[in-house]
Structure 1
Amino acid sequence: MIEVKNVGKSYDGNPVLERLNVTVQEGEFVTLVGASGCGKSTFLKMLLGTESPTSGELLLDGKPIADEPGPDRGIVFQQYSVFPHMTVLENVMAAVGFAQRGLTGYLFGSKRKQARLDAEAILKEVGLGHALKKYPHELSGGMKQRLAIAQALLGKPRILLLDEPFGALDPGIRADMHELVLRLWQEHKLTIFMVTHDIKEGFHLGTRLWVFDKLRHDPHAPQAYGATITYDLPIDHRARQPAPQTTEQTIAPLLAEAAS
């Protein structure tokens, strides 16, 4: 589904990513971990189409990914992108309106009726069926993230991009969100790419875990080289277990196996 062929990304001549070479099959759940500033979110932006590779090819179904967002790719950020003056239902319906051609995004007649039915259905699916008339300031952090996921899923994307979506949530709410995302992934047959700083979360959710890091370092020119995928670890979830208690318990044996 996704082919990454020797992709690199630079800003003002400073490489952020280099030598990315991976393929991803439809239906995989790929989690991305690594230090801040190593290009994880930049890679997500290239998949979304808001950034383009400086070098190499990034292909979707054998064709270059469009250099603009499309309905086949939905994204959820850590910061909630909602309209404070609109209700939960209106926020999700707005996602339909802004996806159509025109300047205003307004929906009329049968289009508005269908958008309302679709929005109510997806909000019920993510657990917000009881909150259709609430405004964003009345929602908890977990509810706002459920709203953001509903907005992303309404267009029925094939690919869902998650950029640290649960970093600001309390542990209990994060566990609920994990179960929600896993259920939606399976029910909607999504291909998911998720950036996280929590390695435990990455192993718990993903079917593959990518570690982004720099293979080459120059102490006299720290910006001379970009990061790449240093480890591509398959994760067997045939018997999915709760998230491990410590990072070392999980990643140390897998990294040792990958390096051998």
Structure 2
Amino acid sequence: MSFVTVRDVWQSYDGRPILERVNLDVDEGEFVSIVGASGCGKSTFLRLLLAQEQPTRGAIRIDGGHRAREPGRERGVVFQRYSVFPHMTVRDNIVAGEAFDTHWGRFRGAKLTAARERADAILDRIGLSHVAQNYPATLSGGMQQRLAIGQALAARPRILLLDEPFGALDPGTRIQMHDFLTELRAETPMTVFMVTHDLGEGFKLGDRVLVFDKPRWDPQDPAAFGATITYDFDARQGGIPFQGLLDKYPSLRAAE
């Protein structure tokens, strides 16, 4: 039985289809990259996985459980822009990640002390212990994104959702973040879904690469149909079909 099961998922906004007939099975611990042209529903699919939205039709189940109705601790998320709290220190940002579903006013005393100790362990792991008392604005872009990932990890999620997590970083920092994420994967058994516009990044980091596109197209009404998974590549086998995808999706060529 697969860990993440997506069955006949459709999503529409105001009657306009965004996704249609999406079916997917993902094993626990897999890293799934999601690519495709702009506006083809990649981020929408990520929000459905997060349970931030509910599908118009179909169901998404985690480990055979019930359909989630709202985001929870088992799903962590990191966006392109650093999703951290600017008024909190680096350490307290990690504590806030653990306190996702805890009333902050009651997260005090021995519980808060223990949480800060766990936060220090995470900061050691992500290489930010030396700036624990700093505020996010004092950190570089790469450090802020490390903090955002650490904050997501603090809740010990079973699934990590990444929405263009490195898109705002310079090339050198981006490569460092690739190495950092690869190291984290070796240490934690999380299942990862990552939306990216960088085809090379998708194949470099992912075990699988999903391509979202519209299999049906009406030139008189481009919004008449939604997108679905049109390709599911196994990136672990070394067969990286860059050229064919770049010919079909020129918008990915800049990331070549």
Same fold (TM over 0.5): yes
Equivalent residue, structure 2, for 1:189:
189
Quick one: which amino acid aligns to residue 204 of structure 1? Answer: K
CA distance in 2, matches of 1:84, 1:3: 36
Equivalent residue, structure 1, for 2:75:
73
CA distance in 2, matches of 1:209, 1:203: 6
Equivalent residue, structure 1, for 2:96:
94
Equivalent residue, structure 2, for 1:12:
14
Contact 2:122–2:154, Cα closer than 8 Å, also in 1? yes
CA distance in 2, matches of 1:254, 1:79: 27
1:115-126 equivalence runs, <5 A: 115-126=115-126
Quick one: which amino acid aligns to residue 20 of structure 2? Answer: E
Contact 1:7–1:20, Cα closer than 8 Å, also in 2? yes
Equivalent residue, structure 1, for 2:38:
36
Comparing 90-99 with 150-159, which one deviates more in the overlay? 90-99
| Matched residue count | 244
Contact 1:233–1:254, Cα closer than 8 Å, also in 2? no
Superposed displacement of residue 65, structure 1: 3.1
Q: Does 1:152 align with 2:143?
A: no
CA distance in 2, matches of 1:167, 1:255: 19
**Change beyond 3 A, Cα 1:227–1:105:** farther
Equivalent residue, structure 1, for 2:140:
140
CA distance in 1, matches of 2:160, 2:142: 18
Where structure 1 has 5 or more consecutive residues not aligned to the other structure, the ranges are 240-248
CA distance in 2, matches of 1:64, 1:53: 14
**Change beyond 3 A, Cα 1:251–1:155:** same
Superposed displacement of residue 2, structure 1: 0.8
Superposed displacement of residue 136, structure 1: 1.1
Contact 1:98–1:105, Cα closer than 8 Å, also in 2? no
TM-score by length of 2: 0.91
**Change beyond 3 A, Cα 1:122–1:58:** same
Quick one: which amino acid aligns to residue 205 of structure 2? Answer: L
Superposed displacement of residue 105, structure 1: 4.3
1:40-55 equivalence runs, <5 A: 40-55=42-57
Equivalent residue, structure 2, for 1:230:
230
Equivalent residue, structure 2, for 1:208:
208
**SS of equivalent to 2:39:** coil
Quick one: which amino acid aligns to residue 54 of structure 2? Answer: S
CA distance in 2, matches of 1:98, 1:254: 39
**SS of equivalent to 2:130:** coil
Query: Matched residues, percent identical?
Result: 56
Superposed displacement of residue 141, structure 1: 0.3
Quick one: which amino acid aligns to residue 83 of structure 1? Answer: F
Equivalent residue, structure 2, for 1:56:
58
Q: Does 1:83 align with 2:85?
A: yes
Quick one: which amino acid aligns to residue 252 of structure 1? Answer: Q
Contact 1:231–1:255, Cα closer than 8 Å, also in 2? no
Contact 2:29–2:191, Cα closer than 8 Å, also in 1? yes
Equivalent residue, structure 2, for 1:245:
none
Equivalent residue, structure 1, for 2:4:
2
CA distance in 2, matches of 1:75, 1:42: 13
CA distance in 1, matches of 2:206, 2:100: 31
Please list the CA deviations of residues 54-88 of structure 1 after superposition, one character each: whole Å capped at 9, or x if unmatched. Answer: 11121112233311111111000011122222211
Equivalent residue, structure 2, for 1:244:
none
Q: CA RMSD in A?
A: 1.8
Quick one: which amino acid aligns to residue 194 of structure 2? Answer: M
Superposed displacement of residue 97, structure 1: 3.1
Superposed displacement of residue 255, structure 1: 9.5
